[in-house]
A and B are shown apart, each in its own frame.
Chain A
Amino acid sequence: MINEEIIIAGFGGQGVLSMGKILAYSGLMNGLEVSWMPSYGPEMRGGTANVTVILSEERISSPILTSYDTAIILNQQSLDKFENAVKPGGILIYDPSGISNPPTRHDLNVFSVEATKAANERNMSKIFNMIVLGGYLKVNPVVSLEHIEAGLKKSLPERHHNLIPANIEGLKLGASLIQRENFYKAAC
């Protein structure tokens, strides 16, 4: 049964909130219950931004959480803040650029995705967040590519629909870039 509680965290401007929105919209297209709860407030201006996304087959209780199945981490502050908030056996995905102290927990499935580097090399900085999302969906295909496409169509204004193929390309690139850093299997 799908009940995925995700935190996405990084700098304001990295596309954290929109990545969450696309994920939530795709979940909706997949017939799931969804919630998208941003951190809103003065800290958003130039500071850190994070969003909690829940995808579930059941009615969602709290959109506000303190522990998560998955953390998608895009800067050091967010890693420091959320590494310990991932449930044991959960998933932690991070972009190594700008990370000087990588994750240390051994009870998580840790993955890295070199999205910043790849986006810069290919002049794709605008779809940086889609590269990260592609990495996540490779690890946990909670929604399909078709649902993402449908979600993009719904969440982007029509004048931007010509950008959808580039976004899909970003997703695929992310799927090819993601690397497992450690393996954890919950004790049975």
Chain B
Amino acid sequence: MSELRLMKGNEALAEAAIRAGVDAYYGYPITPQSEVMEYLMKANPEKTTGMVVLQAESEVASINMVYGAAGAGKMAMTSSSSPGVSLMQEGISYIAGAELPCVVVNVVRGGPGLGTIQPSQADYFQTVKGGGHGDYKLITLAPASVQEMADFMKLAFDLAFKYRNPAMILSDGAIGQMMEKVELFDPVPRRTDEKVAEQCPWATTGRKRGTQKRVITSLRLVASVQEEFNIKLQNKYKEIQEKEVRSEMLQCDDAEFVIVAYGSSARTSMKAVQIAREHGLKVGLLRPQTLWPFPSKQIETLINNGVKGFLSVEMSAGQMVEDVKLAANGGAKVEHYGRMGGVIASPSDIYEALKKFAK
């Protein structure tokens, strides 16, 4: 039976990890995501499902523990906030280069540097444009509610294993800290060793007589071999782009202008759209649930349906706005509105920006 609870986003995510049958969590505390490990430590799933919860000595250690566990076909994850995720970038690139599935959660705070502990969305570029080195992509999910913090935990692992690719849950301090009603999905048992062997024929689970050696590495010294691998990755990314875009549209049917926003900005923007509608402005909201792959086709369709402009609302200096511009490809006016450094634009601030934009 699914269960109704009032939880913080961070707690819902942690509970969902246990329920999704995750094998291992490695992490290091940092505000505003510390509740993830706190919740897991308290729940102590090692006693029930056998899930390992370990506080590592650093974020660098956490991500490399994830790398190791993922290599054995395990469902492994870590979570952190912006400065900690910066430390993980090398490991993430290696995991992408070794084609391993895992989930990294970033509950974003204001930056650069140590910045502030308040919510921000300034890690968009780091997440969807690289962060680590090399031509790689992270499947990026952007929860905008406590419910999605729980649901996307499972989805992220499903996608990561389906494509043998690291997945990122890009949340923010507001979604992590707020409490909402959440309907928790029924627990799924952790996979047995047999199931892991069946699902992950590539995993290094101990070589048996008569079986081929399995190598997990991101090192391919011969350029042509590396290029062949790069092409394989790009083909995989193309497939993900075609099949895995997720987004929500609100009041877009007759909209002349559309706000594009994810995470907690999508929530404040939802209210701004309500206010705008009350004032007779024909405005809708496009809420990307996947940031990579980005809902570019949806933007194209909206332009074909007569949308004249897109306002990208983000808690940053304007990062996603570049992807909106690329998708619009000159077919509509595109601008950015946002606050930075942990300051949240209120619904009325967004409405005022929208009014100016729609003029």
Once A25-B6, A62-B347, A64-B346 are accepted as A-B contacts, the answer to whether A36 and B270 lie under 8 Å apart by CB is: no
A-chain residues with CB within 8 Å of residue B205 when the two chains form the complex = none
Q: Is the pair A154, B344 in contact by a Cβ cutoff of 8 Å?
A: no
Q: Is the pair B181, A154 in contact by a Cβ cutoff of 8 Å?
A: no
Q: Is the pair A34, B118 in contact by a Cβ cutoff of 8 Å?
A: no
B-chain residues with CB within 8 Å of residue A24 when the two chains form the complex = 6, 179
Among B79-87, B158-166, B170-178, B318-326, the stretch that binds chain A is B170-178
Q: Is A65 an interface residue (CB 8 A)?
A: yes
A12 to B117, CA, bound (A): 18
Q: Is the pair A63, B117 in contact by a Cβ cutoff of 8 Å?
A: no
B-chain residues with CB within 8 Å of residue A154 when the two chains form the complex = 5-6
The tally of residues in A whose CB lies under 8 Å from a CB in B reads 23
Q: Is A33 an interface residue (CB 8 A)?
A: yes
B179 → A minimal CB distance (Å): 4
Q: Is the pair A64, B268 in contact by a Cβ cutoff of 8 Å?
A: yes
Which A61-77 residues have C-beta < 8 A from chain B? Answer: 61-67
Among A37-45, A134-142, A167-175, the stretch that binds chain B is A37-45
Q: Is the pair A28, B274 in contact by a Cβ cutoff of 8 Å?
A: no
- Of the candidates A33, A38, A61, A62, the one whose C-beta lies within 8 Å of that of B177 is A38
- Of the candidates A25, A33, A62, the one whose C-beta lies within 8 Å of that of B267 is A62
The tally of residues in B whose CB lies under 8 Å from a CB in A reads 28
Q: Is the pair A62, B268 in contact by a Cβ cutoff of 8 Å?
A: yes
Q: Is the pair A34, B6 in contact by a Cβ cutoff of 8 Å?
A: yes
B351 → A minimal CB distance (Å): 11
Which B234-275 residues have C-beta < 8 A from chain A? Answer: 264, 267-274
A34 to B348, CA, bound (A): 21
Once A41-B118, A63-B174, A154-B6 are accepted as A-B contacts, the answer to whether A28 and B181 lie under 8 Å apart by CB is: yes
Q: Is the pair A36, B267 in contact by a Cβ cutoff of 8 Å?
A: no
Closest A residue to B177 by beta carbon equals A40
- Of the candidates A21, A61, A64, A65, the one whose C-beta lies within 8 Å of that of B6 is A21
Q: Is the pair A36, B179 in contact by a Cβ cutoff of 8 Å?
A: yes
B-chain residues with CB within 8 Å of residue A40 when the two chains form the complex = 32, 117-118, 173, 177
A38 to B175, CA, bound (A): 11
B298 → A minimal CB distance (Å): 20
A113 to B180, CA, bound (A): 28
Q: Is A155 an interface residue (CB 8 A)?
A: yes
- Of the candidates A21, A64, A65, A155, the one whose C-beta lies within 8 Å of that of B174 is A64
A28 to B348, CA, bound (A): 27
- Of the candidates B116, B174, B180, the one whose C-beta lies within 8 Å of that of A34 is B180
Q: Is A35 an interface residue (CB 8 A)?
A: yes
Q: Is B221 an interface residue (CB 8 A)?
A: no
Closest A residue to B146 by beta carbon equals A35
Once A40-B117, A41-B117 are accepted as A-B contacts, the answer to whether A65 and B346 lie under 8 Å apart by CB is: yes
A15 → B minimal CB distance (Å): 16
* List of 6 A-B pairs having minimum Cβ-Cβ separation, nearest first: A61-B270, A62-B271, A36-B179, A61-B271, A66-B346, A62-B268
Q: List 18 A-B residue pairs with CB atoms under 8 Å apart, sorted by A's residue number.
A: A21-B6, A25-B6, A34-B180, A35-B178, A36-B179, A37-B178, A38-B177, A40-B117, A40-B118, A41-B116, A61-B271, A62-B267, A63-B180, A63-B264, A64-B264, A65-B346, A66-B346, A66-B347
Binding site for A on B (CB under 8 A): 4-6, 32, 116-118, 173-174, 177-181, 264, 267-274, 342, 344, 346-348
Given A61-B270, A61-B274, A64-B347; 14 other pairs, CB 8 A cutoff: A21-B179, A25-B6, A34-B181, A36-B6, A36-B179, A36-B180, A40-B177, A41-B342, A42-B117, A61-B267, A62-B268, A62-B272, A63-B178, A64-B264
